[in-house]
Structure 1
């Protein structure tokens, strides 16, 4: 992976061309969940359904574990991975809260107050 200036932002994975290539098959799996018959097949046997796609084992495991941040690190696009959440009956706000390590009400309150504080969140170098 090429080092880019935005890799220094703590807790942030930018979906760039490199991430897009890394997560292509993961994201195609996610998009397949837009069809009801595919959601049913996935819910019936998640592992078997995932094995239809040439994803890495780490990508498949991140889906099985519902490791939302892990999916992003492995090339998942948040808008695509949200299809898994919708299949599970979760809202976008619920998965954002999980990814942030807070409850959904805490996440909603944080967003209503303007989001996370920038203190300590601007550069990994600042936290050393």
Structure 2
């Protein structure tokens, strides 16, 4: 029996702590990612820094996306279609390194996150499936 594309893609949503950037996620986050990429231009970074809420009004983001960006809730931004490489423009504008920003997404200190990554990353032991709680 052949697996449907929907069933295949649904498997990606079962990986704890991982958001696979699928076509559906890309469509959902299109404007969120376009906003983030706009921060590559110095004049846009200045406008953003001057009034973040006003700058976001120029973009057709959902209220949830706007709230997530303003809260710097990068995990929520990913859930709402953000791509980490595009979102890097936001935290870079805030003066954060990739290491600093990503450590906030794990709930770990920068030092603990860095040590974990230098030691080879997260252990493959532990929760492997959200649906099966195993």
**1:14-47 deviation line (CA, Å, top 9, x unaligned):** 1110000000000000000000000000000000
Partner of 1:101: 107
How big is the alpha-carbon RMSD for the aligned residues of Structure 1 and Structure 2?
Answer: 1.2
Which of 25, 28, 34 is matched with 1:28 structurally?
A: 34
Q: Which moved more, 1:3-12 or 1:109-118?
A: 3-12
Larger radius of gyration: 2
Is 1:64 paired with 2:70? yes
Runs of 4+ in 1 over 3 A off after TM superposition: none
Unaligned runs of 5+ in 2: 1-5
Is 1:77 paired with 2:77? no
Unaligned runs of 5+ in 1: none
Partner of 1:116: 122
Question: Distance in 2 between the 1:63 and 1:46 partners?
Answer: 9
Partner of 1:41: 47
TM (norm. structure 1) is 0.94
Which of 15, 20, 31 is matched with 1:14 structurally?
A: 20
TM (norm. structure 2) is 0.90
